[in-house]
């Protein structure tokens, strides 16, 4: 939900606030839900069962998105040649990075498949975590700091293909999520007093990030990474403390389950939904300004349509797939 809202309010202070912690939260959650030591499986089994699937998702969703944007660019006002678009998108598919440009064949910045950089970053992060998850916490902390330092240095060197630079910067958050899953950070579950302190830190952190987002703009890449570290400490960890050990009502648990499962389609395809909505809004004479990108009504429209279309689409797609794969009674 934060990803979709962040894209819908691009250029605003709310966008800066969300971007200060939403991707650290994403990778922290990836570390929390990775089976790790609980499964007792080795690296090969974990890679086959839980990691390599992200490569397939990256390829599938990239090909669908590339086909859509090639069609829009070719038939739209730009009238770009198909061969030029094919080279452009193919290079983007191979680099799989929002920061790296292929030497000598640097394409213009494209929305697809750059928007899917988190899939290859997840592959790198979870592969590294699967290799070291049985190490002691101090060793893990040292590794995470060392990997993050490499990513920090690469920021000024032009990035790396297959989102290696992004993965290096994200790996510490996966490590903290994995440690959190072990219970090493919260044993026993926090008391009400600890939850109250966490809530105060969370509110203060959000307010301070909101202020810093106005004071520090425009961000440099390194300034943004430092803000993400601060956002992780001020927002993600207090939020984790607040939620740890809490019991959810059945209705809220069902909503969370539906939204989290549907993220598989919402993450990749909401940008296509935004594009379709933008093209339709331009044809609504008299309403196009109020529903324009970034306007309050336009934000509600794009976010709402994204979830109203993609969540049922996920249920339809995977529901039929599950029915086909189910064994006969």
Residue 326 lies in a domain: no
For residue 315, pLDDT over 70 is answered with yes
In terms of domains, do 85 and 220 share one?
Answer: no
Among 246, 271, 287, the domain-final residue is 246
- Which residue has 């960890």 as its token pair? 237
Give pLDDT tens digits for 20-54. 999 999 999 999 988 876 667 788 888 888 899 99
Pick the more confident residue, 222 or 61. 61
Phi and psi based region of residue 286 (left: phi greater than 0; alpha: psi -120 to 50; beta: remaining): left
In terms of domains, do 43 and 149 share one?
Answer: yes
- CA torsion, ordered 151, 5, 51, 176, to nearest 10 deg: 60
* Mean pLDDT (whole number) for 94-98: 84
- Going by pLDDT thresholds of 50, 70 and 90, the confidence category of residue 329 is very low
In terms of domains, do 149 and 101 share one?
Answer: yes
In terms of domains, do 147 and 275 share one?
Answer: no
User: Among 100-114, 123-137, 168-182, which stretch is predicted with the lowest mean pLDDT?
Assistant: 100-114
Helices (H), 246-325: 250-281, 296-325
In terms of domains, do 58 and 176 share one?
Answer: yes
Among 165, 185, 205, the domain-final residue is 185
Among 219, 246, 273, the domain-final residue is 246
* Residue 19: strand, helix, or coil: helix
- CA torsion, ordered 12, 14, 20, 21, to nearest 10 deg: -150
> Which structural domain range is residue 165 located in?
34-185
In terms of domains, do 302 and 257 share one?
Answer: yes
Give pLDDT tens digits for 251-278. 888 888 888 888 888 988 999 999 899 8
In terms of domains, do 70 and 138 share one?
Answer: yes
**pLDDT score of 215:** 76
**Number of folded domains that form the chain:** 3
For residue 142, pLDDT over 90 is answered with yes
For residue 304, give both structure tokens.
């709402």
- Going by pLDDT thresholds of 50, 70 and 90, the confidence category of residue 181 is confident
């Amino acid at each position: 939900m934060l990803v979709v809202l962040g894209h819908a309010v691009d250029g605003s202070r709310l966008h800066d606030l969300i971007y200060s912690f939403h991707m650290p939260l994403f990778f922290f959650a990836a570390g929390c839900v990775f089976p790790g030591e609980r499964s007792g499986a080795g690296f090969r089994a974990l890679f086959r069962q839980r990691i390599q699937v992200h490569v397939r998702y990256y390829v599938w969703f990239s090909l669908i998105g590339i086909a859509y944007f090639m069609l829009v660019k070719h038939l739209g006002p730009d009238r770009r040649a198909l061969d030029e678009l094919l080279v452009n998108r193919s290079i983007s598919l191979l680099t799989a990075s929002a920061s790296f440009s292929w030497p000598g064949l640097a394409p213009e910045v494209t929305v697809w498949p750059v928007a899917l950089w988190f899939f290859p970053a997840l592959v790198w992060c979870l592969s590294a975590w699967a290799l070291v998850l049985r190490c002691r916490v101090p060793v893990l902390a040292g590794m995470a700091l060392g990997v993050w330092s490499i990513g920090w240095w690469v920021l000024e060197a032009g990035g790396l293909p297959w989102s290696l630079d992004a993965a290096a910067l994200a790996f510490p958050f996966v490590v903290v999520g994995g440690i959190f899953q072990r219970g090493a950070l919260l044993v026993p579950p926090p008391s009400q007093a600890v939850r109250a302190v966490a809530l105060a830190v969370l509110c203060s952190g959000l307010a301070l990030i909101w202020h810093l987002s106005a004071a520090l703009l425009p961000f440099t890449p390194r300034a943004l990474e430092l803000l993400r570290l601060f956002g992780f400490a001020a927002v993600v960890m207090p939020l984790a403390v607040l939620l740890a050990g809490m019991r959810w009502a059945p209705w809220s648990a069902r909503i969370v389950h539906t939204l989290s499962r549907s993220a598989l389609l919402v993450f990749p395809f909401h940008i296509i939904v935004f594009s379709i909505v933008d093209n339709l809004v331009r044809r609504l004479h008299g309403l196009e300004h109020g529903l324009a990108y970034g306007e309050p009504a336009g934000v509600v429209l794009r976010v709402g349509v994204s979830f109203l279309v993609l969540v049922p689409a996920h249920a339809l797609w995977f529901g039929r797939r599950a029915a086909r794969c189910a064994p006969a009674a």
